Copies of this chain bind each other. A is one copy, B any other.
Amino acid sequence: MTQLTRRHVLAGAAATSAATALTPLASTPAMAAAPPVGKQNAGWYRYKVGSFEVTVVTDGSNNNALPDGYVANAQKPEINAALTADFLPPDRLVGTFNPLLVNTGSKLVALDSGLGLGMFEQSKGSVGQYHTNLQASGIDRNAVDAVVITHFHGDHINGLVGPGNTPAFPKAEVFVPAAEWAFWRDEAANKGKTPAPAQATFANVKRVFDVLGNKVTQYEGSKELVPGITSMPTPGHTPGHMAVLVASGNDKMIYQADVTAGAASVFLRNPNWHFVFDSDKTMAVETRRKFYEMAVAEKALIQGYHFTFPSRGYIEKSGSGYRLVPAPWNAAI
């Protein structure tokens, strides 16, 4: 019978080294017929919601040191325990960024945009892939009819700016939450209400929307912006944060944007934790609880901007929080 003990696996690894040193193959420097390919697949995934065609287009991921004060009401050992429970590296923050496209048949709609490189240049190479992956997926940014922005953090709006500081979606109507527009356009009044690491958002919002000539369509409340695409007020992460309901026929998907953000799986497991980037930490917790109770009751398909690509799944209750059960990858649409 097989011996599947720790010793076995460790012995297997040790045997490997010894065998590698002794094998005739290693003494003659044989090369594989094929060198390593060295190239990752383009990060996009496509599926249907009713008759709508949804494309998840990743901007990539980064991996930075876990900042001090990342969770206001939990200490590093607790955060590291939560990261480790999800098999994520302790003391690191693996960020991932997944905007969506929805073709409703009458409108091609972007839900948020890539993050550009402004805030995250320290790890470029793995982020900033949005426009490349969008093109690889067969979608032309010049054909996008509308962009629905959920909130004004840089990782959601920076991709509105294309090459040479021109609009990335030149033909698109850009929908923005009215409460975001009001808040982030008034640094003098609102800087003091904003967590320190998010205060650069004020200047960045000015930079991005100046490129668009400030031509935006403000929206508020639960509003159908494009037939089948309806905003869902979910404030807390930012004052005007929105989720987006995508509904076609009897089918639906909810794009949660940043109801959980950053290391999203960790905040999903610990919904009461106060994320440093949440503007109103108490309201963010309240919104998370309501949103995920709804997602559980509805068995709703959820797309999360910060869930790992392709960032879609279902929410289940787990302990005092929740977990994502990833939806299967379908090799056909």
Contact = CB atoms under 8 A, between A and B. Distances in A.
A325 B87 contact: yes
A299 interface: yes
A333 B39 contact: yes
A235 interface: yes
A34 interface: yes
Given A234-B2, A314-B87, A40 B333 contact: yes
B9 A129 contact: no
Interface in A149-174: 171
A300 interface: yes
Interface stretch (A72-80, A102-110, A199-207): A102-110
Contact of A60 (B3, B94, B332): B332
Given A13-B252, A39-B46, A171 B33 contact: yes
Interface in A278-331: 283, 286-287, 290-291, 293-294, 297-300, 308-310, 313-314, 316, 325-331
B6 A297 contact: yes
- Copy number of this protein in the oligomer? 2
Contacts of A283: 1
A195 interface: no
A272 interface: no
A16 interface: yes
Given A12-B222, A16-B247, A41-B45, A2 B331 contact: no
A330 B61 contact: yes
A266 to B, nearest CB: 12
A129 B332 CA distance: 10
A213 interface: no
B105 A328 contact: no
Contacts of A13: 245, 247, 252
Contacts of A230: 12, 15-16
Interface string A126-152: 110100000001111011110000000
Given A32-B104, A38-B333, A299-B87, A2 B232 contact: yes
Contacts of A5: 290, 294
Contact of A126 (B140, B325, B331): B331
Given A2-B290, A32-B143, A127-B331, 12 more contacts: A1-B283, A1-B286, A9-B245, A31-B105, A32-B106, A34-B144, A36-B105, A39-B46, A40-B331, A85-B316, A308-B329, A309-B329
